[in-house]
Structure 1
Amino acid sequence: MKLAGAALNQTPLDWENNLSNIKKAIEQAKEQQVDILCLPEMTIPGYGCEDLFLSEWVAEECFQHLLQIKEWCEGVIVCVGLPIRLNGITYNTACVINDKQIVGFTAKQFLANDGVHYEPRWFSSWPANTVQEFEMLGQTYQIGDIIYEHQGVKFAFEICEDAWRNEDRPAYRHKPKGVQLIINPSASHFAMSKTDVRYHLVVDASKQFECTYLYVNLLGNEAGKMIYDGEILIAQNGNVVLRNQLLSFKDVDFECAEVFFENPLPLVDVTPLPPVDENMEFISAITVALLDYLRKSKSKGFVLSLSGGADSSLCAVAVAEMVSRAVQEIGLEEFVRKTNCLTIEELPEFQKLSGTELRNALVGKLLITAYQGTENSSDDTFTSAQELAKSIGAVFYNWTIDQEVIGYRGKIENAIGRPLTWDHDDLALQNIQARVRAPGIWMLANLSNSLLLATSNRSEASVGYATMDGDTAGSISPIAGVDKSFVRQWLIWAQLNLGYEGLQYVNNLQPTAELRPLERAQTDEKDLMPYPLLNQIERLAFYDRLSPQQVFDKLKGTYPDDQLKQYVQRFYSLWSRNQWKRERYAPAFHLDDYNVDPRSWLRFPILSGGFRQELSELG
């Protein structure tokens, strides 16, 4: 039997785009004479419709499109995802279409309800071993825990989360029923190193349940924050039959392979994947996410306040690498179609270019940067910003904001009747510099209809080490899902492994906000604590969910007790008082196995006791 999966780059409620991708996948399946084609979870509406799944009309619209899709399925079985709403209850289903006939709907049994997932808000679980009939538009259909059959081969489903439930997973019930093929349409979000876990989830299952397992994931930045890697896996009895290249820039990544059921591959021990390179995973994910965010928001490019520091440098390189990778995979013409970055008249000139020359020319069309210095800025950060922009072809502007700062400072001094000093008014004097940078850079973004890139990272978000409406200003905050230590080591890796020699300047600098006078030698870690320790406390507190005392006990011995106690107290105090900032950050990509975004992973009250009792008892 010829099995196929198609990872699709869908968009919530973009019916034209979604149907077009579905049709392309079905046409490729028919061209390749495929027996069964699996498409990802919630293929028709897009997985990220959120509360719209509670609307009657969305389910009705999806069903109308399903009737349209089934007419394309001549001579092939297609598994397509959509919500089915019965008696005011919505189910997450995979519909099986065989040769233009709807055979049935398998409903998801386990709903994801941790981390970034809120599925029980929208869907209801389907009970195991239950099949019912329902009527829709005058026709009667089956829905539930259905076993299907094709060419004498029984097949059934696990839909995404179903497979992650260990002893409860549907596969345990499928095996005694003679199921030889398990199909899994998924919308499994990206996180660094997660693909190794998912690989074993699928390949180990094919051995454990002595079956063929077909897994297909969603692809791209579907709805704004979540990234999907588009993984397609076919395994049989522990053998990997097919595994595709992840994080593609394609709209449709179609893969197929022949699988023999009468003489299956022998049972074997599962071969592990080589160690995951998180640096490569990170840049692969963020570049796909940036391109999708750019084109789906109908924006013309990116604008970046390039300070010469680590965070803004990473954002700049991510845009350059997005251009390089996308053009290499899908070609210049398709890249231009997706981004609309060139006119018809300009295209022939760009077609003459190649390699770094082409990348830099395209970056010049898509990325505008500006260094906004003050009397507290150093020559080192200016050189870092200027040389990096030049090395990747970005537009680079340079201006100072001292007059604006002096103007605001003078107004306030006049109003309150006293001069502002660094000894008495440190925080306000720091913040006004960062905040004054926002209007000019926003103006550039508005003039070019571009996305303003905010540069906050996860470590800063945890402790509120950012100026609200200043360096937090932006349309999208692409690196807010990773910590500062990761950012710094990644820049060194990118210089050595991706050839971005323009990073040599920032890689020789200590992270600093450069908001105090230079003689005060400000650094981030002097203001806060060592970043590696900050990240350890953050992870123990909110990923492992430990109390302040438990965190202290875990880290005991890494620093003198009094100093460690001070750092733990500082972290929890800063965390508690800065939740309001995290609520207002620009949308961020989910890149690691957790984040501190209250909209997608970690909810925390804006007003709280601030761990006062717990911190007072620390020791």
Structure 2
Amino acid sequence: MIVESVNRGDTQVLADIRKIVGDCEYVPIDPKQLCNTILVTCYMGTENSSAETKARAAELANQIGSYHHGIVIDTAISAILGIFQQVTKLTPRFKVQGGSPRENLALQNVQARLRMVIAYLFAQLMLWVRGRPGGLLVLGSGNVDEALRGYLTKYDCSSADINPIGGIAKNDLKKFLLYFRRKHGISALSGILEAPPTAELEPLQAGQLAQLDEVDMGMTYKELSVFGRLRKQNCSGPFTMFCRLVHMWDHCTPKEVADKVKHFYRCYAINRHKMTILTPSCHAETYSPDDNRFDHRPFLYNHSWKWQFAAIDEQVKRLKEEKPSRPHKTAPKVLAKPRYMPFSSVISSE
């Protein structure tokens, strides 16, 4: 779009792009050349990264024309862990190596957080490396579903200056990539769309992926997208969401639906604090969970959801007792909410 506008003689677009690149005589020749000028991409691999993911990153960078580097950050990770080992005389291990869940998570988080540090280092100095003035903005890559579920590390590579996809759900993002692939002929996107989503933060097994996002999360991205829309657009809490999904998801029993809803809301409550530090995004949809600028719900919840989960259990019990031929169209009985003393009653008339 930018190159086409310049070729049509749009002086404002040309002036803007010259200001961005810091060159008053710059004229973009083609999209790939412009992309190489303004976009730096970096694949930060570790010993837990697969060769396939690295190859997909390089192929995409080549097709769009970005200034790309593929680096290995194991040295930095070892240095950080070396400090910990020096102080504690202990060596944390991954779960597959016999480590505890805390050790396993900590080792994953170190990798993720170091990627943010390295991204900002490159953003500040890559134009200096290329002999150009100024610095670069860091782009985030976390989507709405990962934020809503809390499937991200606080202050990791999801933390950036701006996140182009931070307001978009995974399924909507895949639809956009399909459209972009057809419109612009970016064939590298095919492999990316077909690849199973994975953080690649745990050790590979025989060179193959052993960690998958949907297994880690305990839910599919499709399910997560439904949870997010019901939570935000339909203002659904745990019980209301269950009452909706028990009729929508015919492939699940009421007990299975209840377990899925409870698991989602537990994860949502435990990780809600992460929403307060999300990178600014473009909010193209109303399902965004961005707490700071878009969704002003509390960020501290009781993860046990006692009243709501008890109401779900009661409804599951009622549905189980009903005959299979009986349509589930009766209004669910809701447990009485605990009574609270009105605020006005505690204020003295004096």
TM over 0.5: yes
Aligned to 1:488: 174
Of 162, 167, 171, the residue aligned with 1:476 is 162
Aligned to 1:522: 211
- CA deviations on 1:501-554 (whole Å, 9 max, x unpaired) are 231221221111111112262111111111111111121122111231221122
Distance 1:325 1:501 in 2: 22
With over 3 angstroms needed to count, the CA separation of the structure-2 counterparts of 1:547 and 1:410, relative to structure 1, is same
Distance 1:367 1:332 in 2: 22
Answering whether residue 243 of structure 2 is matched by residue 565 of structure 1, we say no
Larger radius of gyration: 1
Answering whether residue 50 of structure 2 is matched by residue 370 of structure 1, we say no
The share of aligned pairs that are identical, in percent, is: 28
- Which segments of 5 or more consecutive residues in structure 2 lack a partner in the other structure? 128-134, 314-350
- Displacement of 1:408 after TM fit? 1.6
Distance 1:495 1:582 in 2: 31
Of 565, 571, 589, the residue aligned with 2:282 is 589
Answering whether residue 105 of structure 2 is matched by residue 412 of structure 1, we say no
Q: In 2, are the aligned partners of 1:336 and 1:342 still within 8 Å (CA)?
A: no
3-state DSSP of counterpart to 2:301: coil
Aligned to 2:192: 506
With over 3 angstroms needed to count, the CA separation of the structure-2 counterparts of 1:601 and 1:345, relative to structure 1, is closer
Aligned to 1:379: 51
Q: In 2, are the aligned partners of 1:364 and 1:395 still within 8 Å (CA)?
A: yes
- Displacement of 1:560 after TM fit? 3.6
Answering whether residue 295 of structure 2 is matched by residue 602 of structure 1, we say yes
Answering whether residue 112 of structure 2 is matched by residue 426 of structure 1, we say no
With over 3 angstroms needed to count, the CA separation of the structure-2 counterparts of 1:493 and 1:545, relative to structure 1, is same
Write the letter of the residue equivalent to 2:225: N
Write the letter of the residue equivalent to 1:547: G
Q: In 1, are the aligned partners of 2:141 and 2:158 still within 8 Å (CA)?
A: yes
Written as runs of structure 1 = structure 2, the 5 A alignment for 1:386-405 is 386-405=58-77
- Displacement of 1:616 after TM fit? 4.5
Aligned to 2:336: none
Distance 1:503 1:429 in 2: 30
Aligned to 2:31: 359
- Displacement of 1:406 after TM fit? 1.4
TM-score normalised over the length of structure 2? 0.76
- Displacement of 1:483 after TM fit? 0.5
Distance 2:285 2:57 in 1: 27
Q: In 2, are the aligned partners of 1:374 and 1:400 still within 8 Å (CA)?
A: yes
Aligned to 1:57: none
Aligned to 1:446: 124
More helix by share: 2
- CA deviations on 1:199-246 (whole Å, 9 max, x unpaired) are xxxxxxxxxxxxxxxxxxxxxxxxxxxxxxxxxxxxxxxxxxxxxxxx
Written as runs of structure 1 = structure 2, the 5 A alignment for 1:318-329 is 323=2, 327=6
- Displacement of 1:446 after TM fit? 1.6
Distance 1:420 1:609 in 2: 31
With over 3 angstroms needed to count, the CA separation of the structure-2 counterparts of 1:505 and 1:607, relative to structure 1, is same
Aligned positions, number: 289
Q: In 1, are the aligned partners of 2:232 and 2:288 still within 8 Å (CA)?
A: no
Distance 2:193 2:299 in 1: 36
Write the letter of the residue equivalent to 1:575: Y
Moved over 6 A (4+): none
With over 3 angstroms needed to count, the CA separation of the structure-2 counterparts of 1:611 and 1:589, relative to structure 1, is farther
Q: In 1, are the aligned partners of 2:154 and 2:274 still within 8 Å (CA)?
A: yes
Distance 1:615 1:406 in 2: 44
Distance 2:5 2:189 in 1: 22
Write the letter of the residue equivalent to 1:459: D
Of 538, 541, 553, the residue aligned with 2:231 is 541
Distance 1:461 1:326 in 2: 36
3-state DSSP of counterpart to 1:518: coil
Write the letter of the residue equivalent to 2:262: Q
- Displacement of 1:602 after TM fit? 1.3
- Displacement of 1:610 after TM fit? 2.9
Distance 1:326 1:611 in 2: 55
With over 3 angstroms needed to count, the CA separation of the structure-2 counterparts of 1:375 and 1:604, relative to structure 1, is same
Distance 1:333 1:342 in 2: 16
3-state DSSP of counterpart to 1:578: helix
- Displacement of 1:382 after TM fit? 0.7
Write the letter of the residue equivalent to 2:288: N
With over 3 angstroms needed to count, the CA separation of the structure-2 counterparts of 1:567 and 1:416, relative to structure 1, is farther
- CA deviations on 1:318-338 (whole Å, 9 max, x unpaired) are xxxx6456557x646533311
Aligned to 2:221: 531
Higher normalized contact order (CA 8 Å, seq sep 6+, divided by chain length): 2
More strand by share: 1
TM-score normalised over the length of structure 1? 0.44
Distance 2:183 2:241 in 1: 36
Write the letter of the residue equivalent to 2:111: Q
Distance 1:478 1:548 in 2: 30
- CA deviations on 1:560-586 (whole Å, 9 max, x unpaired) are 444332321221112112222111111
- Displacement of 1:497 after TM fit? 2.7
Deviates more, 1:519-528 or 1:435-444: 519-528
3-state DSSP of counterpart to 2:312: coil
- Displacement of 1:558 after TM fit? 3.7
Distance 2:271 2:5 in 1: 38
Aligned to 2:333: none
Write the letter of the residue equivalent to 1:416: T
Q: In 2, are the aligned partners of 1:512 and 1:522 still within 8 Å (CA)?
A: yes
Write the letter of the residue equivalent to 2:83: K
Distance 2:179 2:4 in 1: 17
Answering whether residue 37 of structure 2 is matched by residue 343 of structure 1, we say no
With over 3 angstroms needed to count, the CA separation of the structure-2 counterparts of 1:567 and 1:325, relative to structure 1, is farther
Aligned to 2:245: 555
Distance 1:581 1:324 in 2: 39
Write the letter of the residue equivalent to 2:303: G
